[in-house]
Amino acid sequence: MPDFAQPQPGSEQLRSRIDRKLLCSVASEPSVAGKMELYLALSQVAREQLATRWVNTQHADRESKARRVYYLSMEFLIGRAMNNALSALDLRDSAAAVFTAPGPSLGEVMECEPDAALGNGGLGRLAACFLDSMATLGLPSWGYGVRYEYGMFAQSILNGQQVEKPEAWLQDRSPWEFPRPGKHHTVRFGGTCEHHDEWAEWHAADSVEAKAFDYVIPGHGTERVSTLRLWKAAAPAEIDLGAFNTGDYQRAAEFKNRFENISWVLYPNDSTAAGRELRLRQEYFFVSASLQDILERHLIEHGTFTNLAEKIAIHLNDTHPAIGVAELMRLLIDDHGMSWAAAWDQCRRIFSYTNHTLMPEALETWKVSLINRVLPRHLLIIYRINQEFLDEVVRLYPGDIELMRRVSLIDDGGGHDRDKRVRMAHLCIVGSHRVNGVSQLHSDLMVQTIFADFARLYPERFHNKTNGVTPRRWLAQANPALSTLLDERLGGKDWRLNLDRLQDLRASADDAGFRNAFATAKRDNKLRLANYVAREVGIVLNPDSLFDVQVKRIHEYKRQLLNVLHVITRYNALLDGSAVGLAPRSVLFAGKAASSYHMAKQVIRLIHDVAAVVNNDPRTRDMLQVVFIPNYGVSVAELIMPAANLSEQISTAGTEASGTGNMKLSLNGALTIGTEDGANIEIRDNVGAENIFIFGNNTAQVNAIREAGHRPMDFYRDDPALKEALDRIDSGFFSPSDRPRYHDIFNSLLHYGDHYLLLADYADYVATQKRVDALYLSPDEWQRKAIINVAGMGPFSADRTISDYANDTWNLGTYLK
Ligand code: 26Q
């Protein structure tokens, strides 16, 4: 077991290091340094130590010719780096002791750091948790991605509506990044191909430079640090200068933009974004640079590519880096002279792929004509892969034309050339030796539905890897109050590295003293959040009310609207006196809507309109409050997770691939109200059905309802409480100055089929919410169940997930300690 108690500098020594950095690096006089200067100086101290560890790690991996895993992802939702770096270096306590009154506290200093929000949501945050676990478990591991100038937009609320603002997180540079001026690769686009037998010469029309910027990823309880290497696009220097020298600055600037726009901005995860040429260029840009980098490193170490698959594993985080399959083939064949057969053999042993969604509209495809224009050589390679694959299919299932049509890498668009598309998921499956879903249910549905044909062809290829979250960031760092309590109870800090240790808490659920301490920690965290809400939103929350939390991207399938229907129902019941046995509640929402997603934006607006009515009604104020916390992201989540009593995980069964917020909330002692969807099912299996509120139709029932024809109007007609809630939305009760405002929401439920079956789950949801109140009114029982939830969360550590990948997918089991 790594030792957390290595001698670290005391606060005196740290203070003098910070002062020195203030003087020599930040150029600021210690006695007058402000928060920002202190943040910069402290980050320099940490950076220096991480740099040394990084050099040592790289040296050791090179010397041992380590097998490495490369995690390719368009998104890494990192958040802030400081707290995590200090914890990994075991400097947290001394840093806290350095920053004392009357100066700023460590917390205030850390808040100077902007979030690195290079991701949309779950998929990007999962990648960040995985980097943490890979380093912590001692895997020789790298992340590769895009260094977006602008990551996720910042959300503010104006008159109850979402406003998006670009977030220039790099404006003042990041003290955590290490530019690598010597590391760059050329990425080419367009042009034509000249064929020679198995290989081709690609005469590209354009090229752009990919420049490397590294972020150190510290492991915990180990000196290993891994690397997240992000690529920035830059115009090729020579040509740029040409226009510059002639004094044509405008042309020089246009030229620069044409290239640098590739890494300019993160794409939102809405389907309207798919099909944009710039997105394809972004995907290829980072994949090509990363693969060139990986091959270069391998060649320096081994001098040959014949052992490539023995030495590297490459993981595809969804289909976004799928073009990597064709790019690796191109690099090995065209640039390094390997035969097609040898290259294909390597390729299939190297790649693995994770699918994150079953929704057909979210499966990535690209027009053949677009790929042909932007990546002509890759299109040829994809066609040949497809031809050999379909030859194999014919051998296995002769004459099954329909099967061939379904599994082909090319959707033939009904025979119209301009409608032909490349199916990126099929390319990933055919080019990988492992394919996985992200929860047991999702993996099961994957092989029963969208990939059923492939599962029949290659049954050994399909696996489940249930997601996890890093307990360092999401418990140890985000929730010091509970962590201290756990350290005392569990007799040490090693649960941070072995989350199964939480099991020992089960016994403490029966200990009244512990339940009290547990409740006190929760209340402290609720106060902390209430202070934040008062400051940011101007609403004063009652810390003794039940904090009912739904925080995630706003999407119809996640059914924030079902939550709103419950809020309105509760409000109506409080008004008409039919409410009995209810506990005071604060219903908290947070999440961003994709900027072009009308329905999601309407939901945000409705939440605000409902909040305005409910919060200002003196008759209900003590029993019900509604708050929308703006700009949800990693740092806001770190405040919310520890403060929640109830976790809303209410997606339509069969739609949420896994969820990871569900794990973070339960880990911090919230009880879940949720459907039988994604990882909720496994959470129930681990905490026990009596310690979670599961409601609604399961996947089989959802399918049956849809097959029989869902009749939302029947539910509306037969359930007076539901009718009343819906009518209040439709009548403009919450939008008196603009009564038709929510007709579209009403219509989507009643007249356009209620696609996500809110009305079919409403009654059970409301009934289950009543059981939640009853339990909350028995604090002892509530605390007991909350403690058992925490105790059951061991399997949802990202360390468990990554160990499983290391063993079953990446063949890196020997590196696990
Ligand atoms: C695709 C094409 C063009 C532009 C953007 C995209 C795009 C970007 C991001 C498509 C999807 C995403 C993100 C998906 C995502 O976050 N999925 C979530 O992944 C989590 C981690 O596995 C799961 O827990 C969630 O259930 C799943 O919704």
Tens of pLDDT, residues 587-606: 999 999 999 999 999 999 99
> Whose Cα sits closest to atom 10 in ligand 1?
269
Q: What is the pLDDT of residue 495?
A: 98
What is the torsion angle, in degrees rounded to the nearest 10, for the CA atoms of residue 676, residue 677, residue 683 and residue 684? Answer: 0
Q: How many angstroms does the Cα of residue 546 sit away from the middle of ligand 1?
A: 31
Q: φ, ψ for residue 423 (rounded to 5)?
A: -95, 105
Higher-pLDDT residue of 3, 293: 293
Task: Evaluate whether 44 touches 25 at the Cβ level (below 8 Å).
Answer: yes
Q: What is the mean pLDDT of residues 438-454?
A: 98
Which of 554, 642, 643, 640 is closest to 599 using CA atoms?
A: 554
- State how beta strands 351-354 and 365-367 pair: unpaired
Residue 519, classified by CB atoms within 10 Å of its CB into exposed (0-12), middle (13-18) or buried (19+), is middle
Q: How far apart are CA 704 and CA 685, in angstroms?
A: 24
> Whose Cα sits closest to atom 9 in ligand 1?
269
Q: What is the pLDDT of residue 525?
A: 98
Kindly give the number of the ligand 1 atom that is closest to the alpha carbon of 442: 26
**Which of 347-351, 577-581, 672-676 is predicted with the least confidence, judged by mean pLDDT?**
577-581
Q: φ, ψ for residue 671 (rounded to 5)?
A: -90, 150
Contacts of 784 (CB under 8 A, 6+ apart): 509, 510, 515
> Whose Cα sits closest to atom 12 in ligand 1?
269
> Whose Cα sits closest to atom 25 in ligand 1?
659
Q: φ, ψ for residue 403 (rounded to 5)?
A: -60, -45
Token pair listed for 683 = 């959470």
Is the pLDDT at 247 greater than 80? The verdict is no
Tens of pLDDT, residues 26-57: 999 998 999 999 999 999 999 999 999 999 99
Kindly give the number of the ligand 1 atom that is closest to the alpha carbon of 275: 3
Is the pLDDT at 686 greater than 60? The verdict is yes
Is the pLDDT at 535 greater than 50? The verdict is yes
Is the pLDDT at 3 greater than 60? The verdict is no
Pocket test for ligand 1, best of 269, 281, 555 (most atoms within 8 A of CB): 269
Distance of CA 594 to the CA centre of its chain: 15
Q: What pLDDT band is residue 386 in, cutting at 50, 70 and 90?
A: very high
Q: What is the pLDDT of residue 255?
A: 76
Q: What is the mean pLDDT of residues 516-530?
A: 98
Q: What is the pLDDT of residue 257?
A: 82
Active-site residue, from 21, 211, 356, 566: 356
Q: What is the pLDDT of residue 567?
A: 98
Is the pLDDT at 176 greater than 70? The verdict is yes
Q: How far apart are CA 120 and CA 317, in angstroms?
A: 13
Q: What is the mean pLDDT of residues 439-445?
A: 98
Which of 699, 696, 708, 649 is closest to 449 using CA atoms?
A: 699
Q: What is the pLDDT of residue 258?
A: 80
Which residue ranges have their beta carbon within 6 Å of ligand 1? 120-123, 126, 267, 269, 273-274, 279, 356-357, 364, 438, 467, 656-660, 678
Is the pLDDT at 2 greater than 50? The verdict is no
Tens of pLDDT, residues 549-562: 999 999 999 999 99
Kindly give the number of the ligand 1 atom that is closest to the alpha carbon of 75: 9
Q: How many angstroms does the Cα of residue 357 sit away from the middle of ligand 1?
A: 7
Q: What is the pLDDT of residue 5?
A: 43
Which CATH class, in words, describes the domain spanning 65-79+115-364+427-467? alpha beta
Helical (H) or strand (E) element with 327: helix 324-330
Number of neighbouring beta carbons within 10 Å of residue 457: 18
Q: How far apart are CA 546 and CA 539, in angstroms?
A: 16
Is the pLDDT at 547 greater than 50? The verdict is yes
State yes or no: is 660 an active-site residue.
yes
**Which of 266-275, 294-303, 473-482, 564-573 is predicted with the least confidence, judged by mean pLDDT?**
266-275
Q: How far apart are CA 21 and CA 35, in angstroms?
A: 14
State yes or no: is 592 an active-site residue.
no
Token pair listed for 202 = 């690609």
Tens of pLDDT, residues 778-806: 999 999 999 999 999 999 999 999 999 99
What is the number of residues in the chain? 817
Distance of CA 181 to the CA centre of its chain: 29
> Whose Cα sits closest to atom 15 in ligand 1?
123
* 35-63 and 11-21 helices, crossing angle to 10°: 100
State yes or no: is 232 an active-site residue.
no
Q: How far apart are CA 738 and CA 353, in angstroms?
A: 48
Active-site residue, from 552, 555, 592, 728: 552
CA distances to 239, 664, 701, 719, 763 from 716, rounded to whole Å, are: 66, 35, 19, 6, 11
Q: Average pLDDT of the chain?
A: 95
Q: How far apart are CA 169 and CA 152, in angstroms?
A: 10
CA distances to 121, 351, 599, 600, 621 from 596, rounded to whole Å, are: 16, 34, 9, 9, 34
Kindly give the number of the ligand 1 atom that is closest to the alpha carbon of 274: 3
Q: What is the pLDDT of residue 75?
A: 98
Kindly give the number of the ligand 1 atom that is closest to the alpha carbon of 362: 10
Which of 670, 674, 613, 672 is closest to 643 using CA atoms?
A: 670
Tens of pLDDT, residues 725-765: 999 999 999 999 999 999 999 999 999 999 999 999 999 99
DSSP result, 569-604: HHHHHHHHT---SPPPEEEEEE----TT-HHHHHHH
Is the pLDDT at 268 greater than 90? The verdict is no
Pocket test for ligand 1, best of 73, 74, 120, 446 (most atoms within 8 A of CB): 120
Helical (H) or strand (E) element with 207: strand 206-218
Q: How many angstroms does the Cα of residue 758 sit away from the middle of ligand 1?
A: 22
Kindly give the number of the ligand 1 atom that is closest to the alpha carbon of 354: 22
Q: How many angstroms does the Cα of residue 152 sit away from the middle of ligand 1?
A: 13
Token pair listed for 220 = 């915990």
Active-site residue, from 558, 592, 605, 784: 558
State yes or no: is 552 an active-site residue.
yes
- Topology of 471-793 in CATH? Rossmann fold (3.40.50)
CA distances to 236, 241, 255, 374, 698 from 259, rounded to whole Å, are: 9, 14, 7, 14, 49
Q: What is the mean pLDDT of residues 239-265?
A: 77
Q: What is the pLDDT of residue 238?
A: 65
* 779-791 and 512-537 helices, crossing angle to 10°: 90
Active-site residue, from 660, 675, 801, 809: 660
Q: What is the mean pLDDT of residues 227-238?
A: 90
Contacts of 609 (CB under 8 A, 6+ apart): 160, 734, 735, 741
Token pair listed for 236 = 């090729």
User: Please, where in the chain does CATH 3.40.50.2000 lie?
Assistant: 65-79+115-364+427-467, 471-793
Q: How many angstroms does the Cα of residue 353 sit away from the middle of ligand 1?
A: 14
Percentage of the chain surpassing pLDDT 70? 97
Is the pLDDT at 632 greater than 60? The verdict is yes
Q: What is the pLDDT of residue 171?
A: 80
Pocket test for ligand 1, best of 73, 123, 467 (most atoms within 8 A of CB): 123
Active-site residue, from 367, 553, 710, 784: 553
DSSP result, 431-460: H-SEEEESSHHHHHHHHHTTTHHHHHH-GG
Pocket test for ligand 1, best of 354, 357, 466, 597 (most atoms within 8 A of CB): 357
Q: What is the mean pLDDT of residues 396-401?
A: 97
Q: How far apart are CA 531 and CA 626, in angstroms?
A: 15
> Whose Cα sits closest to atom 6 in ligand 1?
269
Q: What is the mean pLDDT of residues 460-488?
A: 98
Token pair listed for 765 = 């949801």
